[in-house]
Amino acid sequence: MAGCTDLAFRLVARPRGMEFAFLEMISADALVRRHPKTLEFLKTTPEDRPLGAQLVGCHPEVMGEAAAMIEEMGFDLVDINCGCPVPKITAPGGGSALLAEPDKSRRIFKRVVQSVKRIPVTVKMRKGFADPSGDEAVRMAQMAEDAGVSAVTVHGRTRVQGYSGTADWEAIGKVKRALGIPVFGNGDVTSGDDARRLLEASGCDGVMIGRGGLGNPWIYKSIEAKLNGLPEPAEPSLQERREAALEHLALEIAEEGERIAVLKFRRIACWYFKNIQGAAEFRKKVNVLETAEAMRDAISNFQAA
């Protein structure tokens, strides 16, 4: 979710039902060096709570120092990323590459847990590096639990899969059955029905939403209703989608300035109209826009084909 769950994204989703969120993934090395761009990622507001920070890195000492900084900054939780499959993260040994380095992972877990005093430490992982059985995630999760980690989240794909194929919810269940701490499931949840089926298939304690929330800040209330046996809210109307997208654009402009915000919004705008007739033509149109006025006009005038 790097490049996605920035402050503007969170402020759009909070009043629409998102009760807990993570920052964009933060490089522990860059945080310890106080890299200006990394510090920008940490921007938040009083209404953007509760809020967790997710650290990525492969050096135990640096991960521990960064975790202590996160706690000192007032975040509610620190998460260790053992799930990102992107080559620029895994090549130096971070993200899901840690699944192939159990000894190093154990040292990271212990150092981070020892480095914070008040907030919980959690771990996000995939079901394995290349092994599709889920056994790697079980071993990793047990090490995390032994180190004092409070909960784990498991994405039901291997690092080798990336985001291809289908998430294996049964592998998440293997981790749940092996642990005493809470286990959250992740992968292919785009509706309340998906969340209910994931919980039934895995027996896990909760669901983490990733890509399913992009352009769909209404998903959280939909899941809440489905899991509580209540009628699901109606699908957002086209006008509600336009309004949310325009609000998101305004927040991006306030944070980033017009030029950068419009470039970012070439992708973001398309999230809100995904799977609606006319979305392909809309994508072609917004991908060349250069001003906020033009972007607002494109969003305001979108009509289903």
Looking at the domain assignment, is residue 166 inside a domain? yes
Phi, psi angles (nearest 5°) of residue 153:
-120, 135
**Last residue within a domain, chosen from 227, 252, 280:** 227
Closest CA to 40 of 50, 32, 31: 31
- The amino acid present at 165, given as its one-letter code, is G
Asked whether residue 213 is assigned to any structural domain, the reply reads yes
Looking at the structure, tell me whether residues 218 and 257 fall in a common domain: no
In terms of domains, do 68 and 168 share one? Answer: yes
Shared-domain flag, residues 220 and 257: no
Evaluate the omega torsion of the peptide bond into residue 102 and state whether it is cis, within 30 degrees of 0.
no
Domain containing 63: what range?
7-227
Closest CA to 294 of 265, 273, 257, 252: 265
Of 58, 82, 84, 270, the active-site residue reads 84
pLDDT bucket at 305, cuts 50 / 70 / 90: low
In this structure, the answer to whether residues 68 and 216 fall within a common structural domain is yes
Domain total in the chain:
2
> For position 304, what pLDDT does the model report?
79
Q: Active-site residue 4, yes or no?
A: no
Specify if 100 maps to a domain. Answer: yes
Asked if the structure places residue 121 within a domain, the reply is yes
Q: CA 241 to CA 275: how far, in whole Å?
A: 13
Average pLDDT over residues 170-196: 97
pLDDT score, position 247:
98
* Tens-place pLDDT, residues 218-258: 999 999 999 999 988 999 999 999 999 999 999 999 999 99
SS3 labels along 162-176: CCCCCCCHHHHHHHH
Last-in-domain residue among 227, 249, 282: 227
Q: 40: which residues sit within 8 A by CB, 6+ positions away?
A: none
Within a domain: residue 1?
A: no
Q: How far apart are CA 189 and CA 104, in angstroms?
A: 31
Same domain, 50 and 145: yes
Picking from 203, 227, 251, the residue at the C-terminal end of a domain is 227
Task: Note the residue count of the chain.
Answer: 305
Question: Has residue 253 been placed in a domain?
Answer: yes
Percent of the chain predicted with pLDDT > 90: 96
| Helices then strands, each counted (H, E), the chain | 14, 8
Are 169 and 253 members of one domain? no
pTM over 0.85: yes
* Cα–Cα distances in angstroms (integers) from residue 17 to residues 216, 223, 224, in the given order: 11, 10, 9
Paired with 152 in beta bridges are 123, 183
Give the count of alpha carbons within 13 A of 126, CB side only: 26
- Give domain status of residue 131, yes or no: yes
